[in-house]
Structures are given as structure tokens and as C-alpha cells.
């Protein structure tokens, strides 16, 4: 779980154990940045220190000067921007690496010559799991519950699969809800109050469920500093599980309903 270690007007700093992100919500207009900011960079010089400028249109000259002043104390200095900045400007700032909007922590750590091992963070998972229970419960006007987490093994057939891609500077991966047809039809029937439904009529509702869960979870996750990006939720029918080329940590949680269970699955990229 990221720990906020400093907050100042327009600046939010998070310690992610393996690296530090200095999130610039607005540009620094003062000539001399807050002394606490320099102290943070120096105290964490053994880690990559990333200036996140995704919320800003550009980088001001005084900010480049400040970064340049840190290069001796913080050798693994990096910057994340919407677009690549002028190479000369970056060199003047003493920036070792520059990352584009979709850069992952794996790329950041690798650029600094440091190993990266993704973690299944409970703080990240809880909002998605809680909102899965909330959305399915509210759509069916029933109580659904989560079972004991399990390690994802061999793929199993799944009639309906809601898919939530996960893209952030922190990590990438996928959440999938793998739902048997009888459970999905029960959810759709309850939600739409229509007993004549079949899979062909309501298949798209599976993607809509994923959108509801993502929309409710994203603000909570981003309040923790994950900076989860907008995404397009979707669904698959009659898939033999969602098993993309993702080799990182994974976990599953069974979700119990009145008519049976479905699986909440999370896979992180390595």
C-alpha cells in the first residue's frame, strides 16, 4: 500500500516501498521549491524518484533547475510526462530516464537497474471486490458474499466473462468476473425485471456490470495514489477463462449468490 509522506499545495508524494512518486498536480511557480521536497528526494536516493507531470501540460524552467540540483543526491531521478519533453531540456535537468503516459513500474525499476516484483496489494483489491459485491447485490436486491481467496490454477470454462483492464503507472493487469450462464441470467433477470431474457438478449449487460464496478472503484483506488487510468470494460462469451499473457501474481475470490457462485479473478503483469 502506498504511503503518503508529503502533501503541499499542488504536490502529493507517495512512497511505494520500491520507489517514490512526486505527483505534480500543478506546476511549481515559486523559485525555491519546498525544502521538504528536496529532503524527500535525498532521503530516498537509493530508490527511483519519479516526478509525475501527467496532470501538467509542461515543465517550467524553475522546475528543471530544481531537478538539476537533485541529480547529485538522487541519481535515479526520473520524470513521467504526457509527451516526451525536449531532449536538451531533459539533459539540463539531469533526468536519467523519461517515461511516457503508459509506463509501468516494471519499466521504471528496470531503467534504474533495479529488480521489480509486483505485489498483490490488499489496498488495491479491496475497492474492486467490495464494489463487485455492492453492484451485484444492488442489481439483484439480494445479499452476495465473498468466499476464501484461492490461487488461480488451470483455466476453467466460463459462459460469461466481464473484463476490467488495469492500466496505471504503478502496474498493469486485468480483473475478470467469470460467471456461469445460470448465475448471469439470474443477475440480468433480477436487474431488468424480465423473465424472458436469454444470453443473446443480455450479453452486453455483462460489460455494463464491469463498467459499474470500475467506475465505483477507480476513485477509491486513485485516492491511494495508484493513478489508475480510464479504460474500456468489455465482456467475452463462452471463453475458456481469461488467460492473457500475464505472468505476474494472481488471485481468485469466489462470489456466492442465491443461485450459485462465480469467480472474481485478478492477474497482474510481471
Domain spans in the chain, listed from the N-terminal domain onward? 3-111, 122-268
**Is a pLDDT exceeding 80 seen at residue 270?**
no
Structure-block grid coordinates of residue 256 = 456466492
Beta-carbon count within 10 A of 216 CB? 16
Angle (nearest 5°) at CA 40 between 37 and 44: 150
Listed range (23-27, 230-234, 261-265) with the worst mean pLDDT: 23-27
Block residue for cell numbers 489496498: 123
**Is a pLDDT exceeding 50 seen at residue 116?**
yes
User: Would you state the pLDDT for residue 225?
Assistant: 67
CATH architecture of structural domain 3-111: 2-Layer Sandwich (3.30)
User: Would you state the pLDDT for residue 141?
Assistant: 95
Q: Which residues contact 6 (CB under 8 A, 6 or more apart)?
A: 12, 13, 36, 37, 40
Mean pLDDT of the residues in the chain: 78
**Is a pLDDT exceeding 60 seen at residue 113?**
no
User: Would you state the pLDDT for residue 179?
Assistant: 92
How many CA atoms lie within 13 Å of 120's alpha carbon, on the beta-carbon side?
Answer: 17
**Is a pLDDT exceeding 90 seen at residue 100?**
no
More confident residue, 168 or 155: 168
Partnered with residue 172 across adjacent β-strands are 167
**Is a pLDDT exceeding 70 seen at residue 88?**
no
Beta-carbon count within 10 A of 230 CB? 8
- Residues across the chain: 270
Calpha distance 165→234 (Å, rounded): 9
Calpha distance 112→114 (Å, rounded): 5
Contact 233, 223 (CB under 8 A): no
User: Would you state the pLDDT for residue 139?
Assistant: 95
- Beta-sheet pairing, 250-257 with 145-146: antiparallel
Contact 94, 70 (CB under 8 A): yes
**Is a pLDDT exceeding 50 seen at residue 28?**
yes
Beta-carbon count within 10 A of 12 CB? 17
More confident residue, 118 or 56: 56
Listed range (28-32, 105-109, 186-190) with the worst mean pLDDT: 105-109
User: Would you state the pLDDT for residue 246?
Assistant: 54
In this prediction, residues 188-195 reach a mean pLDDT of 89
More confident residue, 105 or 8: 8
Partnered with residue 98 across adjacent β-strands are 79
Structure-block grid coordinates of residue 123 = 489496498
* Cross-sheet strand order for the sheet of 158-167: 145-146, 250-257, 260-268, 172-179, 158-167, 234-239
Calpha distance 166→172 (Å, rounded): 5
Listed range (85-89, 168-172, 178-182, 218-222) with the worst mean pLDDT: 85-89
More confident residue, 174 or 74: 174
**Is a pLDDT exceeding 50 seen at residue 101?**
no
Contact 74, 43 (CB under 8 A): no
In which band, very low, low, confident or very high, does the pLDDT at 132 lie, cut at 50, 70 and 90?
Answer: very high
User: Would you state the pLDDT for residue 186?
Assistant: 94
CATH architecture of structural domain 122-268: 3-Layer(aba) Sandwich (3.40)
Structure-block grid coordinates of residue 45 = 536516493
In which band, very low, low, confident or very high, does the pLDDT at 163 lie, cut at 50, 70 and 90?
Answer: very high
Contact 23, 13 (CB under 8 A): yes
Amino acid at each position: 500500500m502506498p504511503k503518503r509522506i508529503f502533501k503541499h499545495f499542488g504536490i502529493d508524494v507517495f512512497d511505494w516501498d520500491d520507489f517514490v512518486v512526486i505527483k505534480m498536480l500543478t506546476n511549481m511557480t515559486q523559485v525555491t521549491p519546498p525544502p521538504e521536497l528536496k529532503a524527500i528526494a535525498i532521503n530516498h536516493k537509493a530508490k527511483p524518484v519519479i516526478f509525475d507531470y501527467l496532470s501538467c501540460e509542461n515543465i517550467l524552467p524553475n522546475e528543471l533547475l530544481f531537478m538539476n540540483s537533485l541529480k547529485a543526491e538522487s541519481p535515479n531521478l526520473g520524470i513521467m510526462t504526457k509527451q516526451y519533453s525536449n531532449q536538451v531540456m531533459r539533459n539540463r535537468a539531469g533526468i536519467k530516464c523519461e517515461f511516457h503516459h503508459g509506463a509501468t513500474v516494471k519499466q521504471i525499476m528496470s531503467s534504474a537497474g533495479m529488480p521489480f516484483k509486483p505485489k498483490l496489494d490488499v489496498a488495491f483489491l479491496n475497492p474492486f471486490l467490495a464494489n463487485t459485491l455492492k453492484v451485484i447485490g444492488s442489481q439483484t436486491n439480494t445479499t452476495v458474499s465473498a468466499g476464501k481467496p484461492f490461487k488461480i490454477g488451470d483455466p476453467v470454462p466460463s459462459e460469461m466473462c466481464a473484463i476490467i483492464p488495469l492500466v496505471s503507472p504503478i502496474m498493469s493487469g486485468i480483473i475478470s468476473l467469470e460467471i456461469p450462464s445460470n448465475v448471469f441470467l439470474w443477475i440480468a433477470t433480477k436487474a431488468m425485471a424480465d423473465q424472458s431474457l436469454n444470453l443473446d438478449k443480455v450479453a452486453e449487460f455483462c460489460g455494463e456490470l464491469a463498467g459499474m464496478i470500475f467506475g465505483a472503484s477507480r476513485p477509491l483506488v486513485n485516492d491511494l495514489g495508484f493513478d489508475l487510468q480510464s479504460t474500456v470494460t468489455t465482456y467475452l462469451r463462452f471463453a475458456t477463462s481469461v488467460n492473457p499473457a500475464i505472468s505476474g501474481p494472481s488471485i481468485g475470490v469466489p462470489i456466492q449468490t442465491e443461485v450459485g457462485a462465480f469467480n472474481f479473478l485478478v492477474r497482474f503483469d510481471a
